[in-house]
Amino acid sequence: MERALIKIHGIVQGVGFRPFIHRLVREHDLKGFIKNTSSGVELELDGEREVLERFVSEIPSRAPGLAVIENIETEYGLECGRFENFEIRSSKREAFRNTLISPDICICDDCLREMLTPGDRRYRYPFINCTNCGPRFTIIKDIPYDRAKTSMSDFPMCPACNAEYHDIENRRYHAQPDACPVCGPHVFFMDGEGRACANGDDAIAIARSLLRKGSIIAVKGLGGMHLACRADVEAVARLLRKRKQRDEKPFAVMCRNVECARILCEVSPEEAAVLEGIRRPIVLLRKRKEYEETLRHLSENRCLGVMLPYTPLHVLLFGDDIDALVMTSANLSDTPILYQNEEAVRALHGIADGFLLHNRDIQTRCDDSLCSVLDGREYFLRRSRGYVPQPVRISKRDDLPSVLACGAEQKASFCLTRGGHAFLSQHIGDLKNFETLSFYRNQISHFRRLFDIVPQRIVCDLHPDYLSTETAREMSEEQHIPLLQVQHHHAHLASCMADNALTGEVIGLTWDGTGLGTDGTIWGGECLIGGFETFRRFGSVLPIPLIGGDRAVKEIDRVAFALRHAASCKNDDENASHYEAMLASGVNCPLSSGMGRLFDGAAALLGIKKSAGYEGQGAVLLEAAADEAEDGCFPIEWLEENNTLFFDWRAMVAAMEQRAGAGESTAVLSACFMNTLVRMAEQQCRRARECSGLNRVVLSGGSFQNLYLMKRLPVLLREDGFEVYHQKRVSCNDEGLSLGQAAIALHRLGKETNVSGSTT
Ligand SMILES: [Zn+2]
Ligand SMILES: [Zn+2]
């Protein structure tokens, strides 16, 4: 008999971990205690060495789904008396400082079974949950995380729920949002005019029948409202587009289960695992060949965003006969997602034919997450519901100072650090919209309070006009916190490094639409060499004049015009003389090295799209048009200037024009265009390696949402002996930028305070 001290670090509080340990201890007949500590839990146990070791070895594989175990330290042979029993010691002074809050998690199998079992006291109850599932982040008003500080404060527990809550043997032990039909929230239906029509099961029945008949229904979810309608009737989806004024952006679809998703899309085992996982993001799936055309009313490209039901209400809504519904965020042109009952009824008047709502308030908006599946795991385009506010660990050290990183502007996010944890915000949106900006500012305060963080540095982009920069500056002045500005693509590079726990220096391919460079021009097709400390611009893309500035971002045929012009190809645009005069004088033609612009220009040049309905549409459609079997390439030329190696695309453009003129297919030419970029990048990296001796390449920036590139470029680089890294835990687009800003600031602070500068 001996005693073991076991320290478990990670997300192990508020996720049903102590009841789990309680069960495991009983199974192994051990005695002792467990208590919460600032970084996890601590156990002291008496038992035979062999039994204790077995106990420890079983913890990781059997831990509850929401627990994240970072590491377990075990010490045997402690001096001891004898424990008489096993107890859970409560530490009254548990520091809130280190509380971690779980994301919102989809209904678990146990709750699902109960909900569908006649006679269960929660039979068909749409708010069933337990410690392993249900709402968390979206219902929390404040810390400490207990019922009184959540949306559930309005619903005192009935005796039956209360008994479960206090029973360590019960799955609902300390489940703050626990409820039942007697004591909990309820669902109701309102017609298009906001008149209450029905409650409970009748409300769900009405919504189901209206949906089947082709109506558009607003449905209250976890982090906001969705607009739902049949996915299989083109006219209905078109009507929704018309009412929502969403002409071209793809709709996400919720399918009843994976089998229903397989009817529409190809689903690999890895994709099925992410779809069916506890976080339930929207997963971009390849449409089945036979449906590529017929599903165009949902998505104009080759993929369709699919998710599975994640709340009990969704499950009841689908029943066993609705296979797929369009489920799009209910918001009006670029404003944040609607999340309150009254405002939704008001704002969606004339858009929704009815409302399936409930009286459990959403405290915090949180949009659905969106990802592809790459190398067997999520590759984020939007990291939000189901993931936020789970921190990304960027350092093993817990004594680091805190920083606030304010992100970019269009795909805004922010990041607060505490010790080695980085807390990234949910999807915020485009700050140029006023309501989005106030949402962003509110969330910064909310996160600071929730995680009790006082930043010692505020970091923002170099761009003086970004509203995130303005916010950062204001906060810095008001609160007397020093400000640090970080170049956009340097932050992308650092984001990918922090994401992959890299230190030192790397070659960074950072490709996106726009970011302000250190020389005052617009960058975006960058090959950088550097690390957290500093960077230099090794290579880029020959700057493209944007005719009319920002107008060229929407009217992408202007970019095509500029490309043809530079490559001395014939331009027959009705505005040709006007554009040529602008190009000649350079007036209102800012230069951009943005990779996104090169994609736009190529898309317009190949006749795929003349004008972009949403950001990145040119690139998305070009990717969708490409013949994946084609491995041809256009000529690659270089131009060296100011110690920077520019990809000179003029020869490529001339070849593309010539072959398009000769009648070659858009499919082949689109593929050749992207193949050219892949080989160009490889050559650029090779030169950077010769120059720097570096062998690691990080890929970051919105252009790498393109899976055609992501399936080819890393392969080619690896064949060439490079180690290649892409973003894994945060988005590769500007949403992931705040992580890089934070990592750079931490490095800087570490050096100033003379602690080792490493952030890993
Ligand atoms: Zn559950
Ligand atoms: Zn109850």
pLDDT tens per residue, range 717-742: 999 999 999 999 999 999 999 999 99
Q: What pLDDT shows up at residue 1?
A: 84
Give the three-state DSSP class for 230: strand
What is the DSSP pairing of strand 252-255 with strand 591-592?
A: unpaired
Over residues 315-341, the pLDDT tens digits come to: 999 999 999 999 999 998 789 999 999
Quick: pLDDT tens for 162-182.
999 999 889 998 888 999 999
Q: What is the pLDDT of residue 15?
A: 80
Three-class secondary structure of residue 651 per DSSP: helix
* Confidence class for position 756, pLDDT limits 50, 70, 90: very low
Q: Does residue 547 contact residue 558 with C-beta atoms inside 8 Å?
A: yes
For residue 229, the CA-to-ligand 1 centroid distance in Å is 28
CB 759, CB 394: distance < 8 Å: yes
pLDDT surpassing 70 at residue 757: no
Give the integer Cα–Cα distance in Å for 659 and 498: 43
What does the longest C-alpha to C-alpha distance in the chain come to? 93
DSSP per residue, 321-360: T--EEEEEE--STTSPPP-SHHHHHHHTBTTBSEEEEESS
Cα distances (Å, whole numbers) of residue 266 to 146, 271, 294, 456, 751: 42, 9, 15, 48, 50
CATH classification number, 506-727, choose in 3.90.1150.10, 3.30.70.100, 3.90.550.10, 3.30.420.40: 3.30.420.40
Ligand in closest contact with the CA of 164: 2
Nearest ligand to the CA atom of 130:
1
Number of neighbours of residue 242 by Cβ within 10 angstroms: 11
Q: Please, how many CA atoms are within 13 Å of residue 79, restricted to the half-sphere of its CB?
A: 0
Question: Is 187-370 CATH 3.40.1800.10?
Answer: no
Q: How far apart are CA 133 and CA 111, in angstroms?
A: 8
Give the number of the ligand closest to the Cα of residue 114.
1
- Strand 506-516 and strand 86-89: pairing? unpaired
Rounded CA-CA distance 743/441 in Å is 21
- Comparing 12-16, 119-123, 247-251, 629-633, the range with the smallest average pLDDT is 12-16
pLDDT at res. 92: 54
What 8-state DSSP symbol labels residue 23? H
Q: Among residues 239, 246, 185, 247, which one has the least CA distance to residue 216? A: 239
Ligand 1 centroid to residue 444 C-alpha, Å: 30
CA of 105 to the centre of ligand 1 (A): 9
CA of 183 to the centre of ligand 1 (A): 17
- Residue 153: closest CA among 171, 129, 173, 177: 177
Ligand 2 mean position, distance from CA 160 (Å): 6
Helix, strand, or coil (residue 223): coil
- C-alpha of residue 184 to centroid of ligand 1, in Å: 15
Q: What is the arithmetic mean of pLDDT over 403-408? A: 98
Give the Å distance between the CA of 510 and the centre of ligand 1: 42
**66 C-alpha to center of ligand 1: Å?**
11
Ligand in closest contact with the CA of 135? 1
What tens digit of pLDDT does each residue of 360-369 get? 999 999 999 9
Q: Ligand nearest 163 Cα, by number?
A: 2
User: Tell me, what's the pLDDT at 246?
Assistant: 80
Between CA 397 and CA 418 the distance in angstroms is: 10
- 718, 724, 719: which is closest to 697 by C-alpha? 724
Q: Compute, in angstroms, the gap from residue 131 CA to the centroid of ligand 1.
A: 6
Cα 66 from chain centroid (whole Å): 18
Q: Where are the domains of the chain?
A: 2-94, 109-166, 187-370, 391-489+737-748, 506-727
Q: Which ligand is in closest contact with the Cα of 178? A: 2
Query: 127: CA distance to ligand 2 center in Å?
Result: 11
- Interval 472-504: pLDDT, tens: 999 999 999 999 999 999 999 999 999 999 999
CA–CA gap between residue 234 and residue 39 (Å, rounded): 52
Beta bridge partners of 422: 392, 417
Can you spell out the DSSP letters for 536-590?
Answer: EEEEEE--EE-TTTTHHHHSTHHHHHHHHHHTT-----TTHHHHHHHHHH-TT--
For 9-65, what is each residue's pLDDT tens digit? 887 877 888 889 999 999 999 999 998 776 778 999 999 999 999 999 999 999 988
| Ligand 2 centroid – CA 177 distance (Å) | 11
C-alpha 37 to ligand 1 mean position (Å): 26
CATH code for residues 391-489+737-748: 3.30.420.360
- Using CA atoms, how far apart are residues 71 and 48, in angstroms rounded to an integer? 23
Q: By C-alpha distance, which of 731, 248, 717, 738 is closest to 466?
A: 738
Gap between the Cα atoms of 404 and 128, Å rounded: 36
Backbone region of residue 504 per phi and psi (left: phi > 0; alpha: psi in -120 to 50; beta: other values): left
Assess whether pLDDT exceeds 80 at residue 758: no
Contact 282, 252 (CB under 8 A): yes
Average pLDDT estimate for 103-125? 97
Please state the length of the chain: 760
Q: Which ligand is nearest to the CA of 109?
A: 1
Q: Which residues pair with 44 in a beta bridge?
A: 5, 33
CA 430 to ligand 2 centroid distance, Å: 41
Residue type, 546: L
Among 95-104, 440-449, 580-589, 608-617, the minimum mean pLDDT is found in 95-104
Query: CB neighbours of 547 closer than 8 A, spacing ≥ 6?
Result: 558, 559, 561, 562, 579, 582, 583, 588, 589
Q: How far is the CA of 128 from the centre of ligand 1 (A)?
A: 7
pLDDT at 4 over 60: yes
Ligand 2 center to residue 130 CA distance, Å? 12
Distance (angstroms) between ligand 1 centre and the Cα of 129 equals: 4
How many angstroms separate the alpha carbon of residue 366 from the centre of ligand 2?
A: 27
Q: Minimum-distance ligand to the CA of 133? A: 1
Comparing 256-270, 282-296, 703-717, which segment has the lowest mean pLDDT? 282-296
Nearest bound ligand to CA 159? 2
- For the chain, the 3-state helix, strand and coil shares in percent, each to the nearest 5, are 35, 25, 40
Alpha carbon distance 113, 638 (integer Å): 63
Report the separation in Å between the CA atom of 155 and the middle of ligand 2, taken as the mean of its atom positions: 9
CA of 424 to the centre of ligand 1 (A): 26
- In the CATH scheme, what is the code of domain 2-94? 3.30.70.100
Residue 182 CA to ligand 2 center (angstroms) comes to 5
Does the structure show a pLDDT above 60 at 96? no
Minimum-distance ligand to the CA of 131?
Answer: 1
Using CB atoms within 10 Å of the CB of residue 200, give its burial: 0 to 12 exposed, 13 to 18 middle, 19+ buried.
middle
CA 102 to centroid of ligand 2, rounded, Å: 23
506-727 and 2-94 share a CATH fold: no
Between 8-12, 136-140, 634-638, the lowest mean confidence (pLDDT) is in: 8-12
Instruction: Find where tokens 């404003």 sit.
Output: 335
134 Cα to the center of ligand 2, angstroms? 16
Centroid of ligand 1 to alpha carbon of 206 (angstroms): 26
